[in-house]
Amino acid sequence: MTTATAIVAGHGIALRRSLHLPNPPGKPSSASFSARPYPHPHYRLAVPTPRRPCRSISSESPTASAAADTAEGEDDPAAATIEEEEEEEELDPLAEVCYLDPEADAEGIREWEVDFCSRPILDARGKKVWELVVCDATLSLQFTRFFPNTSINSVTLRDALASVSTSLGVPLPDRARFFRSQMQTIISRACNELGVKAVPSRRCVSLLLWLEERYETVYSRHPGFQQGTKPLLTLDNPFASNLPDNLFGDKWAFVQLPFADVREEVELLGRRYAFGAGLDLDLLGFELDETTLVPGVAVESSRARPLAAWMNGLEICSMEVDTDRANLILSAGVSTRYVYAAYQKSAATTQEAEAWEAAKKACGGLHFLAIQENLNSDSCVGFWLLLDLPPPPV
């Protein structure tokens, strides 16, 4: 057993790791590190409050209300200010959202995140209400619309997605990410008819966290809310399959990078690397100390650039260690899980793998994947910032 030093992403972060005997030819070898204790982070999604939520409910909405807003006090600026403050404090669970940040570049919003599913709400017929939720990664664009369960089809969805564009005055996106595999047929068909590429992916981080927030602020306060209702369409978590041969690296290592340097890597993604994906850490509101070490996995490959290109098309969302099987698992798309690598199981390696998972948990689920031509290199070919997220409550 030999000892080496790994330098990650050009920041000269020296990490000691034990390199074990390599796996069969073409398979990544294993590595480990000793994790330090980290402070527990506190973070929350910073959801912009729509300045003008859609008060007029669609005629097809099962939660439509015939009550009209009173005009009392509309000429009183002070009363209007108080009303606006009250609206910001508590969202109307019957209102639909139709919002575009006035400071956003409408033409620059080229990707949407979409969910179309039932909610734990019953309409007047005692049937579950469905909802379309659309946003972009920065939540500069927000749109919601309720539907009765009798109109759930690709035509309804197509028309609703088109109305997002016309209502907000934004172009249709190039891509629309969605995370429910059960809705792939309907969403793909609706998007295809609009010339939009439907992308199955769990990298809908803003959407997933917004749904969690809407559960607390909207759904649970709706008069038709049914507490304890389980989601109709749950997320898949299949057994991990074998990794395609073209995705293997030569060796890999558990590594760590200070949070400040992780931020820098995300900011430089578009300029330094051709491959990779970041997260909006400010929107997510991570409250980690700049020196906190974020765990990750570094992969060395003599075909680093082709490997990074192939990985770039997978919609990578997270990595985890299966300590029972001594495997490193890569999750991608909406329901794809690969056995990315294996290591020799022992009490020591199990402890080290558990330490890596504990470090990830202490960082709020934040971790990364870096692809390098050499683990001792001072640069990366690809860098993906990843985040473990629990399934949404709806």
- Which tens digits make up the pLDDT trace of 321-346? 999 999 999 999 998 999 999 999 99
Give the mean model confidence (pLDDT) for residues 177-203: 96
Q: In the chain, what percentage of residues exceed pLDDT 90? A: 64
Q: What is the pLDDT of residue 56?
A: 31
Of 173, 47, 50, 193, which is closest to residue 106 (Cα–Cα)?
Answer: 173
**Beta bridge pairs of residue 17:** 4
Q: What local confidence, expressed as pLDDT, does residue 92 receive?
A: 83
- pTM for the full model? 0.79
pLDDT per position as a tens digit, 17-58: 322 223 333 344 333 322 222 233 334 445 555 533 333 333
**Whose CA is closest to 247, among 180, 184, 336?**
336
pLDDT, residue 94, reads: 82
Q: Which residue has the tokens 């997933």?
A: 208
64 by DSSP, 3-state: which?
Answer: coil
Note the pLDDT of residue 286. Answer: 87
Greater confidence (286 vs 148) lies with 148
Q: Taking residues 351-374, what's their average pLDDT?
A: 95
Sign of torsion over alpha carbons 46, 114, 96, 223: negative
Question: Band of the pLDDT at 282, cuts 50, 70, 90?
Answer: confident
What is the widest separation between alpha-carbon atoms in the chain? 80
- Alpha-carbon distance 171 to 331, whole Å? 31
| CA distance between the termini of the chain | 49
Contact 225, 131 (CB under 8 A): no
Residues in a beta bridge with 199: 177
pLDDT at 66: 33
Instruction: Say what the pLDDT of residue 274 is.
Output: 75
Q: Which of 35, 33, 40 is nearest to 19 (CA)?
A: 33
d(CA 180, CA 175): 16
Q: What is the pLDDT of residue 35?
A: 28
- Output the pLDDT for position 392: 87
CB-based contacts of 274: which residues, under 8 Å, 6+ apart?
305, 308, 309, 381, 382
Give the SS3 label for residue 246: helix
Residue of 108 and 228 predicted with greater confidence: 108
- pLDDT greater at residue 91 or residue 268: 268
Q: What is the CA angle 306-243-388, rounded to 5? A: 90
Other Cβ atoms less than 10 A from the Cβ of 53: the count is: 16
CA distance 177 to 72: 43
pLDDT higher at 192 or 88: 192
Q: What is the pLDDT of residue 22?
A: 30
Q: How far apart are CA 299 and CA 212, in angstroms?
A: 34
List domains and CATH numbers for the chain. 98-221 (3.30.420.10), 236-387 (no CATH)
